[in-house]
Structure 1
Amino acid sequence: MAFIDGIKRQLRSVIEWENPDPDLLLAQWTENGDEIKNASKLIVGPGQGCIFVYQGQVKAIIEDQCMINLETDNVPFWTMIKKFMQFFESEHKAGIYFFRKTKILDQKWGTTSPIKYQDPKYHFPVALKAYGNYSYQIADPGDFFVNIVGSHNQMRIDDFRNILSARIINPISDYLAECQHSFADIDANRDEIARGIAIKLAIVFRKLGFSISDFRIEGTDFDEDTLRRINRIADLTAEAQAAQAVGLDYAKVQQLDALREAARNEGGGAGLGMGMGAGIGLGQGMAQALGATTSPAGADSNQTVAKLTELKQLFEAQLITEAEYAAKKQQILAKF
């Protein structure tokens, strides 16, 4: 059966990539030197190119759609082939390969592992995950064959996707280190980041014979440790803004929170003593936070109104409890 198949291949007279698999980037037409010598016609279809390889080296490439009569037409591509095949012997290796010239559109990419870099604003390690899409095409068939195909007889679109996924981490890491975007700025600057990464990827893949285009970042995410740090920053920022809204220094608010928490710790005899002491400290801390002082007789009633207003803002901001609000209000009114 193998002998019959070999005879059939040698009888083929047309070199052509007919009905190519849509998932193929490159496919070998033959490695049979006699089949190449006996061919009478070469057809390169739309969006195709053809490579002639002799003894492992690319000797001729044609990228234009054409139909060549190999017996009469004087075409440089075939002239080069005939030059080598004139002295062809069976132990020599000669091959014809067809490749896809058209752009491969809307390919998905995603980081296989988190990209780690130092946040330039908050100075903590960030681990970023990202995904998106891109398009590409074979730009230099010779470099593509030498650097990617090698001894393989075909190359599939999935094969290239794996190559890109393995090589995308370093360009993204390098760009994020250069652009100095904090984690909070990533999504707002995705287009800018994508353009910067695309430039770095273009340099890497041009050496492999490919051109990258339409590179986009569709979404980003962070690992659990980074999210925990981000949420902590968000909580602290919200608390600081709430304190500012009622005219308090954030450090004073933290002191009040610590005193109130200690006052609630009243479990057991020792705990009771701690709770009482913390309660006294709480009253003192509130007085300091509100700027309470012993007013001389006949003080302006506007000062009392201001303190009551500030006290109410603390209560509405949920920085003190209802009981604390009532006790302190009574204390202010008693001094009026």
Structure 2
Amino acid sequence: MAFIDGIKRQLRSVIEWENPDPDLLLAQWTENGDEIKNASKLIVGPGQGCIFVYQGQVKAIIEDQCMINLETDNVPFWTTIKKFMQFFESEHKVGIYFFRKTKILDQKWGTTSPIKYQDPKYHFPVALKAYGNYSYQIADPGDFFVSIVGSHNQMRIDDFRNILSARIINPISDYLAECQHSFADIDANRDEIARGIAIKLAIVFRKLGFSISDFRIEGTDFDEDTLRRINRIADLTAEAQAAQAVGLDYAKVQQLDALRDAARNEGGGAGLGMGMGAGIGLGQGMAQSLGAANPAVAADNNQTVAKLTELKQLFEAQLITEAEYAAKKQQILAKF
């Protein structure tokens, strides 16, 4: 009885992908107790496709929802395969693979390492990190099987994510080199950059049997070295704009900072004298430059420099103590 039941089970066997794991892209059909050679029907459900492989070669692909009676319907590929089959044991291996046709939505991506390029505006190395999401689906099952699946009996969505992550760096690097966006322009042009990268990715993944869609960049970041350079540029830019707002040349502001640093040198009497000497020299040049740019302040600047010069002479002649010299100097600078 068990023998007869086994034969009946084989004679009425059905090939179908029932309740597929939602994380599977492709799976080989296998059923304990059923022989492919004796299957009577093939069912391809909604959102599914089927690949027939014989002796390592793709012989047929079904991409439409259907039910085929393998015993009576005129299916050339199946007729050819059945010629090589025996009743209970097959000498030639036939593989039937079901794959998911539906689009896989909202998949996350991120650069596995920083993307390095030369900033076209500031000419320093930039290391950019980015992340976002995308959607994809199997567009050419034959290329997908040959290029990706190979000898594997299944492929999961996570497997494809690893493939994309490994191949995404070069297209992004190439596009950034071509579009010549400075670091400050990355976020403002995020949609444009995403479209450009998507075009490059489409070319790469079309060869693998996939189509990429809805590719988006959700965020970007830079490594520590790049951030340090960016912050330095931001500080200098802010200082230059502040100087311009009060009618000063940025170079003159730097001279003023040097004057104050030299005057505030607290390295002893000799250091005070040297710092004051340097400060006076810078101060005289500063007074002349500022006077030319703004005559209204020229008199005050000249008076300040004169007071500092006189104070230094008093100190060098030992007519005032070091403490008196330092205190008076700070009073003059505070007014300046």
* Structure 1: distance between partners of 2:314 and 2:186: 35
CA 160–312 in structure 1, closer or farther in 2 if over 3 Å, else same: farther
Q: 1:318 Cα shift?
A: 34
Q: 1:290 Cα shift?
A: 1.7
* Structure 2: distance between partners of 1:56 and 1:321: 99
Q: 1:275 Cα shift?
A: 2.4
Give percent identity, aligned residues only. Answer: 96
* Structure 2: distance between partners of 1:320 and 1:304: 19
Q: 1:110 Cα shift?
A: 0.2
Unaligned runs of at least 5 residues, structure 2: none
Q: 1:289 Cα shift?
A: 3.4
- Partners of 2:38 and 2:87 within 8 A in 1: no
Q: 1:284 Cα shift?
A: 1.4
CA 312–72 in structure 1, closer or farther in 2 if over 3 Å, else same: farther
Cα shift readout 1:92-149 (whole Å, capped 9, x = no counterpart): 3221110000000000000000000111111111100000000000000010001100
CA 309–45 in structure 1, closer or farther in 2 if over 3 Å, else same: farther
- Partners of 1:62 and 1:77 within 8 A in 2: no
- Partners of 1:42 and 1:70 within 8 A in 2: yes
TM-score by length of 1: 0.82
Matched, 1:109 2:119: no
Q: 1:203 Cα shift?
A: 0.3
Greater shift, 173-182 or 272-281, is seen at 272-281
Q: 1:79 Cα shift?
A: 3.8
Cα shift readout 1:193-248 (whole Å, capped 9, x = no counterpart): 00000000000000000000000000000001111111111111111111111111
Which runs of structure 2 are paired with 1:198-213 in the superposition (5 Å)?
A: 198-213=198-213
Q: 1:266 Cα shift?
A: 2.3
CA 241–18 in structure 1, closer or farther in 2 if over 3 Å, else same: same
CA 3–256 in structure 1, closer or farther in 2 if over 3 Å, else same: farther
Q: 1:81 Cα shift?
A: 3.8
CA 258–31 in structure 1, closer or farther in 2 if over 3 Å, else same: farther
Q: May I ask how many residue pairs the two structures share in their alignment?
A: 336
- Partners of 2:49 and 2:61 within 8 A in 1: yes
CA 328–293 in structure 1, closer or farther in 2 if over 3 Å, else same: farther
- Partners of 2:195 and 2:215 within 8 A in 1: yes
Q: 1:286 Cα shift?
A: 3.5
- Partners of 1:102 and 1:137 within 8 A in 2: yes
Q: 1:34 Cα shift?
A: 7.8
Q: Give the 3-state SS of the residue equivalent to 1:129 in structure 2.
A: strand
* Structure 2: distance between partners of 1:64 and 1:314: 101
- Partners of 1:33 and 1:95 within 8 A in 2: no
CA 325–91 in structure 1, closer or farther in 2 if over 3 Å, else same: farther
Q: 1:313 Cα shift?
A: 30
* Structure 1: distance between partners of 2:135 and 2:17: 23
Unaligned runs of at least 5 residues, structure 1: none
Q: Give the 3-state SS of the residue equivalent to 2:332 in structure 1.
A: helix
Q: What is the Cα-based RMSD across aligned positions, in Å?
A: 7.3
Cα shift readout 1:27-72 (whole Å, capped 9, x = no counterpart): 0003999811100011000000001111111111101100111111
- Partners of 1:33 and 1:85 within 8 A in 2: no
- Partners of 1:259 and 1:282 within 8 A in 2: yes
* Structure 1: distance between partners of 2:310 and 2:270: 34
Q: Give the 3-state SS of the residue equivalent to 1:151 in structure 2.
A: coil
CA 256–300 in structure 1, closer or farther in 2 if over 3 Å, else same: closer
Q: 1:4 Cα shift?
A: 14
Q: 1:76 Cα shift?
A: 4.3
Q: 1:78 Cα shift?
A: 3.2
